Structure 1
Amino acid sequence: MNRFSATDLALLFLRVTASALVLFVHGLPKVLHYASQLDAIEDPLHLGKTLTLGFAIFAEVVCPLLMIAGIATRLAALPIMLVSAIALGLVHREWTLGQGQFAWMLLIMFGTIALGGAGRYRIALPPHASRQRQT
């Protein structure tokens, strides 16, 4: 059980570095400059700028923090992938592959995390109460 696993180490590295990149490049600037971001954000789904920015902040701040800790990793990867897909498919349709390469890289990295999960190196949550009753 305590054996070294290169796969688990690779998942940890990908999870932490990709999440830190999203957090520092996209998430924190949205929080720190909320008012200007609210004016600037596109609203391609017509949900309202406040809700759109709120979802973006959730995807780019909360989800990366969960992923760094290894909590609900597969689930936390999905909002980041959704924001990237919306950016590519609705907001920036005119982008060439080269212009959209960062969004494509995010889709690839977080898609890999969604498929691979957190790996062994993560914060383990206590088992759910209903599982404890069954044993």
Structure 2
Amino acid sequence: MMNKKIPVLPTPHIDLGLLFLRLAGSFMLFYVHGLPKVLNYAHELTQIEDPFGMGPQLSLWAAILAEFICPMLIALGLFTRLACLPILGVLLIAMLVVHPGWSIAEGQFGWLLLVIFISIAICGPGNWRVLPFNERTGRY
């Protein structure tokens, strides 16, 4: 039996959908949560929850990584799956530890962000990104 390579067909509609998901989800997280934390750093230090007793500064830096830096990487399609991990961690901590009493309606923004970033982590960035992945060589 001959080993035939199955050609990889272009999937522009899937790539467009993944690009839209990356840009929209990253923008919402960045604009609503990340940017205010960076612009109002001193005030945020007095407001941030510290559920594990790490101190407000370390908690705020973890949130800035997840809500400011990682969304930029995801929007560009750089280290996308890896960049989803801090976001998922912070969102799960927020929804299950910091706000466990919230109803689905009260926490809908957080739950929707979880759906978006879990989907991106599963699917990856798609082909439309800064450094396209070459499936043939396995390199960027």
TM-score > 0.5, shorter chain as reference:
yes
Give the structure 2 partner of residue 116 of structure 1. Answer: 123
% identical aligned pairs: 46
Deviation at residue 126 of structure 1 after TM alignment: 9.3
Change in Cα spacing, 1:98 to 1:126, as seen in structure 2 (3 Å) is closer
Alignment gaps of 5+ in structure 2: 1-7
Q: 2:17 aligns with which of 10, 23, 27?
A: 10
Alignment gaps of 5+ in structure 1: none
Deviation at residue 45 of structure 1 after TM alignment: 1.3
Say whether residues 1:61 and 2:74 are aligned partners: no
Paired letter, 2:51: P
Paired letter, 1:121: W
Q: Computing the radius of gyration over CA atoms, which structure comes out larger, 1 or 2? A: 2
Q: Please identify which structure carries the higher helix content.
A: 1
Query: Contact 2:51/2:98 (CA < 8 Å) preserved in 1?
Result: yes
SS of residue paired to 2:70: helix
Deviation at residue 81 of structure 1 after TM alignment: 1.1
Matches of 1:56 and 1:19 in 2, distance apart? 14
Q: 1:84 aligns with which of 64, 85, 91?
A: 91
Q: 1:47 aligns with which of 54, 66, 72?
A: 54
Q: Give the count of matched residue pairs.
A: 129
Matches of 2:52 and 2:126 in 1, distance apart? 34
Q: Which runs of 4+ in 1 moved over 2 A?
A: 1-4
Partner deviation per Cα, 1:68-90 (whole Å, 9 max, x = no partner): 11000011111111111101111
Query: Contact 2:127/2:133 (CA < 8 Å) preserved in 1?
Result: no
Give the structure 1 partner of residue 106 of structure 2. Answer: 99
SS of residue paired to 2:104: coil
TM-score normalized by the length of structure 2: 0.86
Give the structure 2 partner of residue 21 of structure 1. Answer: 28
Deviation at residue 57 of structure 1 after TM alignment: 0.3
Measured on the aligned residues, the alpha-carbon RMSD in Å equals 2.0
Give the structure 1 partner of residue 79 of structure 2. Answer: 72
